[in-house]
């Protein structure tokens, strides 16, 4: 038996090439796998999926042209590659920007950089949370349409300037007043930063998600659009049905309850660093992803 094992090793194993795998190689493989996974998710969740499908069709066409030796088509394809690459960057500018912003949100530099203003103003009180929930469901009960964006780490200044500047403490009464029909501020969205309403009548980007239900109009599309370009949580109250929905991270959850909205708001109520302390001390929502 011993002889057999020895001859097996001599004949097969000793002839094999075992690369010298270091710990850094394993870390490198894991990093590349995570990046590829993230890029694939990004492609799947954005317009890039359409682009990828288009590129596959184009590649198949060029491969067929190469097989059939269609030199003019190959020449045109070769010459247009730089132009197509530039066009892709221009077309996907919002998605690329969002991807980089997301990277920045999780960046360790946020915890180190003392000049980062976003660390100071993204916490709202329990009073604001309760006012948002109360106002949303009060408006829902009388079918008053509303759109309320609760800012998180992504600064919404560019959307804030499309509206009328306000600086008032969040209260359910103010929100009800703003969205009252036929009043000057009722159209568009309100942006909430911390405990304050910073702007009303804001214009939000519309989502071009083709999977969104056809029965939903531009108010819901705007809420979803906002959630695609930022980490904000947007509350929508339907004027038609009185239903309250919430959009965040490119997902729209329709027909929610006050408890659900309360939970979602409490999940974003504290900054990540504060949240850890909050969970340790209060033991609330410790299991939920933020
Ligand atoms: N891009 C936008 N940014 C902000 N608000 C918007 C935007 N587009 C539409 N709205 C708001 O939505 C209102 C129109 O809502 P619309 O009826 O088209 O949407 P909906 O999703 O069907 O909502 P509802 O159920 O309330 O009818 C507008 O009067 C405006 O207040």
Nearest Cα neighbor of 137 from 235, 228, 6, 227 is 235
Last-in-domain residue among 70, 104, 138: 104
Q: Give the pLDDT score at 167.
A: 92
Residue 131 has pLDDT above 70, yes or no: yes
Q: Which H helix or E strand runs over 17?
A: none
pLDDT at 272: 57
- DSSP, collapsed to helix, strand or coil, labels residue 116 as coil
Tally of domains within the chain = 2
224, part of any domain: yes
In terms of Cα–Cα distance, which of 33, 41, 27 is closest to 102? Answer: 41
pTM for the model: 0.66
Bridge partner residues of 85 (DSSP): none
What is the tens place of the pLDDT at every residue in 53-88? Answer: 888 898 899 999 999 988 898 999 888 888 888 888
Alpha helices by DSSP H, the chain: 2-8, 23-45, 48-67, 71-91, 93-105, 109-112, 126-141, 157-160, 172-178, 218-229, 258-268, 272-282
Distance (angstroms) between ligand 1 centre and the Cα of 217 equals: 6
140: tokens are: 């829902």
The residue whose two tokens read 């329990």 is: 126
173 shares a domain with 44: no
Phi, then psi, of 226 in degrees rounded to 5: -65, -40
237 shares a domain with 167? yes
| Other CB atoms within 10 Å distance of the CB of residue 88 | 15
pLDDT of 240 higher than 80: yes
Q: Is residue 10 part of a domain?
A: no
The mean per-residue pLDDT over the stretch 150-163 comes to: 90
Clarify whether residues 96 and 236 are in a common domain. Answer: no
**For residue 89, what pLDDT is reported?**
84
- Tell me how far apart the terminal alpha carbons of the chain are, to the nearest angstrom: 59
Q: Which two tokens stand for residue 80?
A: 């247009």
Ligand 1 pocket member 189 (CB < 6 A):
yes
Q: Is the CB of 203 under 6 A from ligand 1?
A: yes
Q: Which of 54, 70, 104 is the last residue of a domain?
A: 104
> In CATH, what number is assigned to the domain containing residue 208?
3.40.1700.10
**63 occurs within a structural domain:** yes
- How many whole angstroms from 220 Cα to the centroid of ligand 1? 7
Say how far apart CA 40 and CA 46 lie, in whole Å. 10
> Which range of residues forms the domain containing residue 252?
119-284
Q: For 248-274, what is the mean pLDDT?
A: 87
Domain boundary among 41, 73, 104: 104
Do 162 and 90 fall into the same domain?
Answer: no
Q: What angle do CA 264, 267, 269 make, to 5 degrees?
A: 105
Query: Does ligand 1 come within 6 angstroms of the Cβ of 255?
Result: no
112 falls within a domain = no
């Amino acid at each position: 038996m011993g002889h057999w094992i020895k001859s097996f090793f001599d004949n097969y194993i000793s002839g094999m090439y075992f690369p010298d795998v270091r710990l850094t190689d394993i870390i490198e493989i894991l990093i590349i796998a995570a990046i590829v996974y993230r890029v694939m998710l990004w492609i799947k969740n954005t317009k890039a999926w359409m682009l990828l499908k288009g590129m596959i069709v184009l590649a198949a066409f060029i491969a067929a042209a190469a097989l059939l030796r269609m030199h003019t088509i190959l020449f045109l394809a070769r010459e247009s590659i730089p132009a197509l690459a530039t066009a892709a960057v221009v077309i996907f500018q919002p998605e690329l920007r969002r991807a980089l912003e997301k990277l920045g949100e999780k960046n360790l530099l946020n915890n180190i950089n003392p000049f980062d203003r976003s660390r100071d103003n993204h916490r709202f009180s329990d009073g604001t949370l309760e006012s948002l929930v109360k106002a949303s469901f009060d408006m829902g009960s009388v079918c008053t349409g509303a759109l309320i964006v609760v800012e998180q780490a992504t600064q919404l200044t560019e959307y804030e300037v499309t509206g009328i500047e306000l600086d008032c403490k969040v209260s359910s009464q103010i929100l009800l007043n703003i969205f009252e029909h036929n009043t000057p501020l009722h159209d568009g969205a309100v942006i909430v930063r911390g405990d304050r309403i910073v702007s009303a009548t804001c214009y939000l980007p519309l989502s071009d998600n083709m999977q969104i239900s056809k029965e939903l109009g531009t108010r819901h599309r705007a809420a979803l659009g906002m959630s695609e370009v930022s980490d904000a949580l947007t509350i929508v109250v339907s004027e038609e049905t009185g239903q309250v929905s919430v959009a965040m991270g490119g997902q729209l959850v329709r027909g929610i309850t006050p408890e659900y909205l309360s939970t979602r708001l409490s999940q974003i109520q504290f900054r990540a660093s504060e949240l850890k302390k909050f969970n340790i001390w209060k033991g609330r929502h410790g299991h939920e992803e933020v």
